[in-house]
Chains A and B, each alone.
Chain A
């Protein structure tokens, strides 16, 4: 059974900072990894996904996956106040339709 832990629980950073959010998962058979972002009062929306070890960059956002260490992270370059949201990591195993979410990191970017 997949267990996903996120850290930190909350984070306050100044505008322009580099922000790092972390996620560890328990199931080494996990193959699908997602970061979702949820602005206050809105539905969660997929931000980025990765399905193999390594790094993926899209604009100011970079995700890293290391299956050996069961670690998955999101890095935001030049953080903006509009990045303020709840960030949720999620994982699923091959052949399983259970997408298991972590408890979330509440990010606040101060102007």
Chain B
């Protein structure tokens, strides 16, 4: 079986700061995703990528950038952290429309 590793697990940033979240997968999946989850709520798609160097915007892309420089890695940048923002960012991967596997998440707090 494979694994998705997200770093860091916890991220504390300051208002206006640029913050980068990283994700690595060893499933050899083509497609990777970044979702945002607010406390106890559903998942909102920020960015996804169907292959190396591809980027597709989800509904929540404003305020974020992403980068897929290698098939196995997908990073997300919060371009300007918003004060009191608190959410979990989940990275995921899959082959086409098969099962999506998730990482354990990065919990972001902005002070």
Residues on A lying within 8 angstroms of B by beta carbon are 1, 6, 31-32, 34, 42-46, 49, 86, 88, 90, 92, 94, 96-104, 106
Q: Is the CB of A43 within 8 A of B41?
A: no
Bound together, the chains give a CA A96 to CA B58 distance in angstroms of 12
Give the residue of B43, B56, B99, B103 whose beta carbon is less than 8 angstroms from that of A97.
B56
The 7 tightest CB contacts between A and B, nearest first, are A103-B42, A43-B102, A101-B43, A104-B42, A32-B97, A46-B99, A101-B42
Asked if B97 and A86 make an inter-chain contact with CB atoms under 8 angstroms apart, the answer reads no
B108 at the interface (CB under 8 A from A): no
Which residue of chain A has its CB nearest to the CB of B30?
A97
What total of chain B residues lie within 8 Å of the partner, measured CB to CB? 25
Let me know if B40 and A104 touch, CB within 8 A.
yes
If A97-B48, A97-B97, A99-B33 touch, whether A44 touches B41 (CB-CB below 8 Å) is no
Q: How far is the CA of A47 from the CA of B41 in the complex (A)?
A: 18
Q: Does B50 contact A (CB under 8 A)?
A: yes
Decide: B45 and A98 in contact? CB cutoff 8 A: yes
Q: Is B90 an interface residue (CB 8 A)?
A: yes
Residue B31 is within 8 A (CB to CB) of chain A in the complex? yes
A sample of 5 more A-B contacts (CB under 8 A), given A46-B100, A104-B40, is: A1-B59, A34-B100, A98-B48, A99-B97, A101-B43
CB distance from B54 to the nearest CB of A (A): 10
A25 to B71, CA, bound (A): 31
Among residues of B, the one whose C-beta sits closest to the C-beta of A94 is B97
18 sample A-B contacts, Cβ–Cβ < 8 Å, listed by A number = A1-B59, A6-B42, A43-B90, A43-B103, A43-B104, A86-B40, A92-B97, A97-B50, A97-B94, A97-B97, A98-B56, A99-B33, A99-B45, A99-B97, A100-B45, A101-B42, A101-B43, A104-B41
CB distance from B66 to the nearest CB of A (A): 14
A90 proximity list for chain B (CB < 8 A): 100
